[in-house]
Every structure is written in structure tokens, then in C-alpha cells.
């Protein structure tokens, strides 16, 4: 049986946000069992905590953005993904800017920070979401399905017409250490032809080859000289999916989720469909 968990001590890191390009100090504080994950805008006096909840999602443009009472936080999926991967159910996240640090474009820095701070387990059993009948969602070439399973499983497919990407697929089942080794290091990416559009729309102001992979016609560009994995794209898609699905308020339990294509908009749409049918269990 899994148990609710938080950090053993406070931890922090700093950097710039991916889209806004603003510097941000992120502080992670232990939280009591049953509270859940909350974001705070420490730079806005008197602002309300923003629960990591589907109810607070206000945008999914190139990231998952939350708001409450006039305060907003952008691109929260990497922090939430690290929480999902390490089993952290209760945490306060204080940001002194609208967007957390992008660091290297993956969730690895957050996962390592949480490990270094230590994970404190409560005596309270961890509630997970599960389903008893299949659930599906589709929108054009994008499709998701969920079905009852013996344990949490994901099967993710990412396809592109780009000759260097084509078809990538990945199975993931939360084995010991799997998240930190296989998912957390996968970085955000963009196709070269998207860059002008992103910048013209006020996005990716903090983007660089130090925190993203750029897919050119004949090569992959990054500060490390290439990819960390041959299938880094589908791994990052799953990284984002794990973070977005944590907005259900619980990690996956006895459920297998299959996704073809996707993105934040579709992750949230499917999560909302799951919200209408799932139940919480302690096994």
C-alpha cells in the first residue's frame, strides 16, 4: 500500500520562466496530509492559494496554466509531473513570478531537488483514481482511452510527419526509479518552423537551447548537442501528461491509459472526462 507524502524539509531553486522569460524563485514547503498540492504567488500580497485542480485551469496554450482570485501561475506541469513520479501528494509551492523556472526544460531538476530534500511519508493511505469501465476521448487524430488494470500503466504514442521523428511509442508503469531514469530527463521541444509564431505571440521568451530541443529539418539542436533519448519527444509528452493528470487530485491507481497524440489541451479534456467517472481507492 502507498502512503501520502510530502517533503521532509523546505527546498528551493531559481531560474527563468520558459514563456515569460522572467526570473523566478520557487520555494517548496512541506504540507500536511490531505491538503494536496497548492501554488502561491508570493509576489502578490494577500493572494489566495491556487489548488492543483482541474477547476483552476484557465488556459492550455503551450503549457498548463492555473488561476484563482486574480492570481495566475503558468506552465506548472513539470513540477506536478515530478510530484506524480515521486509520489508526493501534499506540497506548497511558492513562486515570486507567474511562471516557475524552466531549468533545462525537463522535470529532472525538480525530481532531484525533492529527493535531496527527502520525502516524508504519512500514515495516511494514498488515494489513487481508478475506473471500473472504459473511458475514451477523441478529437481528430488525437485519442485517449482508459480501462481498468491491475495497476497504473501508460502507453503513449507520438507521431509526426517530420522524418526525424515519425512514430515514437512508450510504455510506462511506475517501476522503482523508472520515472527519474526514463521520464524526468526528457526535455520540452519545438519544431524550428514554430519559433517565429511562438515569439510573435509573446511565448518562449525564456526559451533557448539550454532548456529546449529544437527540431530542424535535418538535425536536433540542443545545448547538449542532441537528444538525451532517441525517443525523447514521446517521453516528454508522457512527462507532461503525468503532471496534467495530477490535477485530478490523485495519481493513477488501477487504470491503464493509452494516448495517441495529445498535448495540454487534450490532456485536460480527457482528465475532465475521467473526473466524471473515476473513484478513489487506497490500494
161 and 268, same domain (yes or no)? yes
Q: How do 11-16 and 3-7 pair as beta strands?
A: unpaired
240 and 146, same domain (yes or no)? yes
CATH code of the domain containing 139: 3.30.1700.10
Residue 75 to residue 65: CA distance in whole angstroms:
6
**pLDDT < 70 regions, the chain:** 283
Q: Which of the residues 19, 78, 236, 264 is marked catalytic?
A: 264
**pLDDT score, position 53:** 97
230 within 8 A of 68, measured Cβ to Cβ: no
**How would you class 52 by CB atoms within 10 Å of its CB: exposed for 0-12, middle for 13-18, buried for 19 or more?**
buried
36 and 134, same domain (yes or no)? no
33 within 8 A of 125, measured Cβ to Cβ: no
23 and 162, same domain (yes or no)? no
Q: Is the pTM of this model over 0.75?
A: yes
**pLDDT score, position 224:** 95
13 within 8 A of 107, measured Cβ to Cβ: no
111 and 53, same domain (yes or no)? yes
Cβ of 227: how many Cβ atoms within 10 Å? Answer: 18
Residue 83 to residue 113: CA distance in whole angstroms:
11
**pLDDT score, position 200:** 84
Q: Which of 125, 146, 173 is the last residue of a domain?
A: 125
**pLDDT score, position 40:** 97
227 and 256, same domain (yes or no)? yes
Q: Which of 125, 140, 174 is the last residue of a domain?
A: 125
Helix/strand number for the chain, H first, E second: 6, 20
55: helix, strand or coil: helix
Q: Which of 70, 98, 125 is the last residue of a domain?
A: 125
DSSP 8-state symbol, 105: S
Q: Which domain holds residue 101?
A: 3-125
39 and 91, same domain (yes or no)? yes
Q: What is the CA radius of gyration of the chain?
A: 18
Residue 216 to residue 213: CA distance in whole angstroms:
9
CATH code of the domain containing 58: 3.30.230.20
Number of structural domains the chain divides into: 2
132 and 270, same domain (yes or no)? yes
160 and 257, same domain (yes or no)? yes
* Dihedral sign (CA 260, 59, 236, 208): positive
215 within 8 A of 164, measured Cβ to Cβ: yes
Residue 19 annotated as catalytic:
no
164 and 216, same domain (yes or no)? yes
173 and 254, same domain (yes or no)? yes
87 and 175, same domain (yes or no)? no
pLDDT digits (tens, 9 = 90+) for 201-256: 888 888 999 999 999 999 999 999 999 999 999 999 999 999 999 999 999 999 99
**pLDDT score, position 236:** 97
Q: Which of 122, 115, 139 is nearest to 265 (CA)?
A: 139
Amino acid at each position: 500500500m502507498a502512503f501520502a507524502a510530502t517533503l521532509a524539509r523546505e527546498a528551493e531553486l531559481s531560474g527563468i520562466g520558459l514563456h515569460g522569460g522572467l526570473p523566478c524563485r520557487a520555494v517548496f514547503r512541506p504540507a500536511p496530509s490531505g491538503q494536496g498540492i497548492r501554488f502561491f504567488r508570493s509576489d502578490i500580497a494577500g493572494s489566495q492559494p491556487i489548488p492543483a485542480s482541474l477547476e483552476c485551469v484557465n488556459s492550455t496554450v503551450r503549457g498548463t496554466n492555473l488561476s484563482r482570485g486574480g492570481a495566475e501561475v503558468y506552465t506548472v506541469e513539470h513540477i506536478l509531473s515530478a510530484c506524480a513520479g515521486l509520489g508526493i501528494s501534499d506540497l506548497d509551492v511558492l513562486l515570486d513570478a507567474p511562471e516557475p523556472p524552466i531549468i533545462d526544460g525537463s522535470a529532472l531538476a525538480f525530481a532531484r531537488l525533492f529527493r535531496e530534500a527527502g520525502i516524508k511519508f504519512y500514515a495516511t493511505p494514498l488515494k489513487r483514481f481508478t475506473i471500473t469501465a472504459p473511458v475514451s476521448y477523441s478529437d481528430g487524430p488525437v485519442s485517449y482511452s482508459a480501462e481498468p488494470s491491475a495497476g497504473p500503466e501508460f502507453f503513449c504514442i507520438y507521431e509526426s510527419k517530420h522524418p526525424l521523428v515519425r512514430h515514437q511509442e512508450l510504455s510506462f508503469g511506475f517501476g522503482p526509479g523508472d520515472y527519474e531514469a526514463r521520464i524526468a530527463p526528457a526535455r520540452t521541444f519545438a519544431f524550428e518552423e514554430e519559433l517565429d509564431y511562438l515569439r510573435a505571440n509573446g511565448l518562449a521568451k525564456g526559451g533557448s537551447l539550454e532548456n529546449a530541443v529544437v527540431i530542424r529539418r535535418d538535425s536536433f539542436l540542443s545545448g547538449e548537442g542532441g537528444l538525451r533519448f532517441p525517443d525523447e519527444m514521446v517521453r516528454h509528452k508522457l512527462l507532461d501528461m503525468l503532471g496534467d493528470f495530477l490535477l485530478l487530485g490523485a495519481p493513477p491507481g488501477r487504470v491503464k491509459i493509452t494516448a495517441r497524440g495529445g498535448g495540454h489541451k487534450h490532456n485536460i479534456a480527457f482528465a475532465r472526462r475521467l473526473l466524471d467517472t473515476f473513484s478513489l481507492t487506497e490500494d
